[in-house]
Structure 1
Amino acid sequence: MRWIWQSGLLVLGARFAFANVEKTIFVAPAASETAANDPAVDGLVLDRLTPSEPVLRTSLNATFPTEDAPLGTASWFYLENLRPDQRYEVRVCWLATQPTAFILTTYTLSDILADSALVSSLSHFSATKEHRNLPSERNSTKSVNNNDKSVLFLRVLAAADYYTTNTTLMENVPPVAVDLILDPFLANVFPRSLVPTAAWIVVVTVVSVVVARFISGLLSDLAATGRIEEEERKEDKKTQ
């Protein structure tokens, strides 16, 4: 039976074979705690993730750890239209050919306003992004009032995690191509995106058990037939 479970684990692992994955799991706070309509939020230029637009493909700047930035370069995102008390996870997936260490952390607006370092980091990132890109529906935090939903800010720290004799790569870390994925938990227990994988594992396991029982029964029948034939040959020898 062990090979059945091993095959199931291989199917599960195949889903992530194309990339490295780092994630954070959190429970969306009450809407009243997130200050979704606070004027301080308006004007920030950040890419957004929502339950209706849960996947964002982008590139993140990364740097080698320094004394000023021991965990790498910070990028900020806006998690919007979250259901209060709903468990979520945010994953960042990146190619194994770009070794990078990621740290994902979520913050409410009040968390950020209480820490001047976070305020400075968020403001700097937003200003830099606004300089590079014109605001659009996807990267503006201004949204329609919705008092029964909550929002959070997501900070992604990216630190280059490699060493090479290539001087250019050591001095200038290239941007890291990533997929950011917002994934709600079903009943606050199981990530929704893993449901198809789990269903496939169940199907493979059930089919494997049925096939194993069929082969076991077939082998038992063949063994029983062999014993009967052997007894018949012994009887024939006695009668001779």
Structure 2
Amino acid sequence: MKAFTLLPALPLFFTPVIANTEKAIFLGPPAVNIPQSRPTISDLRLPTLTPLARNTTSLRTKLTPVFPSPQYPDGSSTWLLLDDLTPGQRYEVRVCWAATQPTTFHLTPYPLETVFDSPDLITSLNAYSSTRQPSEPSLLPPSAALLPPNEVQKSLLFLHILAAADFYSSDSSLMKKPPPVDVDIILDPFLLNVLPKSLLPTVCYILVVALAAIFVSGKIVRLLKGLIASSLETSDEKKTQ
């Protein structure tokens, strides 16, 4: 009886989570020479994702979408830096957000030279970078001016995210200024360029369940065969009597 009284409370512990995902799959580009003399790419102050550490492969943030317009035909722009990539390595970058916040996202990874050679892209990048600069210019330490200019070779990409609001509301304030969208931006390297690393636990779980099912099913088959054999023997004994 107690088990039945718990049933109405069960839905309280299981809340469905519905989310949307937009992704792009790409290969790490060849390494290029990155000047270390100021100004550098780090001076753009872009959010950065790298596969080097667990806490650098994802970013939880808010993106503010806009409705498509002549000024923003595909939505608002956000720029990230995908750093410390491995040339030829397959990667997947995803944007995940709640389905309760209707938004259309477009993700495009760009090599550095493509952005720097495109007036539209470099203008968009500069506009976004300007919003992330400190209100007061930072002063270089005296020793920084004495460092000789040098270069490092790195494989990296710019990630351009376009966010367009995708809803209609009778609330005029929402139509003028859509609310920010909570998103998770995830950089996921592929294992052997075949399987996203984040899916490895799921694959291992499926393999364990499959092996356990094979083991248990074998025992069940042997048990059934034993029961059938014993019932046949009992039936034969009754016939002989």
TM-score of the pair, normalised by structure 1: 0.77
**How far apart are 1:50 and its partner, in Å?**
1.3
Stretch of structure 1 that moved more, 108-117 or 207-216: 207-216
1:65 to 65, 68, 72: 68
Q: Is 1:41 matched with 2:41?
A: yes
Find the counterpart in structure 1 of residue 13 from structure 2.
Answer: none
State the SS of the aligned residue for 1:214: helix
Q: How many residues align?
A: 210
TM superposition shift of 1:207: 0.9
Tell me how far 1:40 sits from its aligned partner. 6.7
Deviations 1:7-59 (A, max 9, x none): xxxxxxxxxx6632221111111112xx5338573531211111231111111
Whether the aligned pair in 2 keeps the contact of 1:31 and 1:147 (CA below 8 Å) is no
1:84-126 superposed Cα distances (whole Å, 9 cap, x missing partner): 2222111111122222221111111210122211111111111
The change in CA–CA distance for 1:211 and 1:44 in structure 2 (over 3 A counts) is same
Check if 1:152 corresponds to 2:157: yes
Q: Which residue of 2 aligns with 1:89?
A: 92
Q: From 122, 126, 130, give the equivalent of 1:127.
A: 130
- Give the letter for the 1:194 counterpart: L
User: Residue in 2 aligned with 1:162?
Assistant: 167
Which stretch shows the higher mean deviation, 125-134 or 106-115? 125-134
Query: Match for residue 14 of structure 2?
Result: none
Match of 2:19 in 1: 19
Letter in 1 for 2:23: K
What is the aligned partner in structure 2 of residue 181 from structure 1? 186
Letter in 2 for 1:49: L
- Displacement after TM superposition at 1:145 (Å): 6.6
Provide structure 1 residue ranges, at least 5 long, that are not aligned to the other structure.
1-16, 136-143
- 2:34–2:153 contact (8 Å) kept in structure 1: no
- The 2-side partners of 1:124 and 1:162 are apart by 26
Change (3 A) 1:113 1:199: same
**Cα distance per residue 1:138-164 (max 9 Å; x no partner):** xxxxxx977342111001111222334
Deviation at residue 70 of structure 1 after TM alignment: 3.1
Structure 2 vs 1, CA of residues 223 and 100 (structure 1 numbering), >3 Å: closer, same or farther?
Answer: farther
Q: 1:220 aligns with which of 219, 225, 228?
A: 225
Q: Give secondary structure in 2 for the equivalent of 1:20.
A: strand
Mark the CA change 1:207 to 1:145 in structure 2 (over 3 Å): closer, same or farther.
farther
CA distance in 2, matches of 1:234, 1:55: 73
Cα distance change of structure 1 residues 176 and 30 upon mapping to structure 2, 3 Å threshold = same
Q: Counterparts of 1:94-113 in structure 2 under 5 Å?
A: 94-113=97-116
1:215/1:103 CA distance change after superposition, 3 Å: same
User: Would the alpha carbon gap of residues 222 and 168 (structure 1) be closer, same or farther in structure 2, given more than 3 Å must change?
Assistant: farther
Match of 1:13 in 2: none
1:222 & 1:132 partners in 2: Cα distance?
81
1:63 counterpart SS class? coil
Which residue of 69, 73, 77 maps to 1:74?
77
Classify the secondary structure of the residue corresponding to 1:93: strand
Cα deviation digits, residues 206-225 of structure 1 (max 9, x gap): 11222222223222322232
Corresponding residue SS for 2:83: strand
| 1:231 aligns to 2:229 (yes or no) | no
SS at match of 1:70: coil
Taking a change above 3 Å as real, the CA distance of residues 166 and 228 of structure 1, as seen in their structure-2 partners, is farther
Distance in 2 separating the partners of 1:132 and 1:232: 97
- Segment drifting more, 161-170 vs 149-158: 161-170
Task: Work out the CA distance in 2 between the residues paired with 1:110 and 1:217.
Answer: 66
Q: Secondary structure at the match of 1:64?
A: coil
